[in-house]
Amino acid sequence: MSDRCIVDACALIALLNEEQGADVVERVFKEALFGGVSLVMNKLNFLEVYYGLFREYDKETADDLFDTVKELPIRIQSELTDDVTREAGRLKASYKVSIADSVALAEASVAGYPLLTSDHHEFDVIEESENIKFHWIR
C-alpha cells in the first residue's frame, strides 16, 4: 500500500457498521495509528457518512460520529482545491457517479494515492479507464 490513502465514505461506513470489508479498513487504520500510512477523507465524503447515520438513526448518533472520527487516525480535508474541483467535474461529467464519489475519485487522482473503497459497481469501469489507484476492501 501507498504511504497515503484517500478514504471513501463506504469504507468508513463498513468500519462503523462492521460490514464485510471492515477487517480490511481496520487493518489500514491500525497501520495509520503506527505511522505506516496517512489517511485523508474529503469533508464532502464525511458528510455522506454523517447524513446516512442521521437518516438511518438520529441526530445524536450522527453527532457522535464527529467524536468518533476525532479518535480515528484520519484527517478530514476541508478544502476543495481547484485541481480537485476540476477533476471531480470531469469525472462527474464522464461517468455515472455522485458528486461525493467524484470528489473522492478526484482526491485520489490528483494526489496519486489509492482510494480505499468497496464501490465496485460504480468504480470498476473507472479503474479500467482512468489512471486512478484503488484499494478494495471487498
pLDDT score of 45 more than 70: yes
pLDDT band, very low/low/confident/very high, at 1 (cuts 50, 70, 90): low
What pLDDT, on a 0 to 100 scale, did the predictor assign at position 74? Answer: 95
pLDDT score of 135 more than 70: yes
Report yes or no: 133 and 115 within 8 Å, Cβ to Cβ: yes
Burial 59-97 (b: 16+ CB within 10 A, else e): eeebeebeeebeebbbebbeeeeeebeebbeebbeebeb
The residue count of the chain comes to 138
Question: How many separate domains does the chain show?
Answer: 1
Q: What is the pLDDT of residues 72-101, one digit of tens each?
A: 999 999 999 999 999 999 999 999 999 999
Domain range for 69 is: 4-136
Q: How many CA atoms lie within 13 A of 106 on its CB side?
A: 28
Among residues of the chain, what percentage have pLDDT more than 90? 91
Q: What CATH number should be reported for the domain holding residue 80?
A: 3.40.50.1010
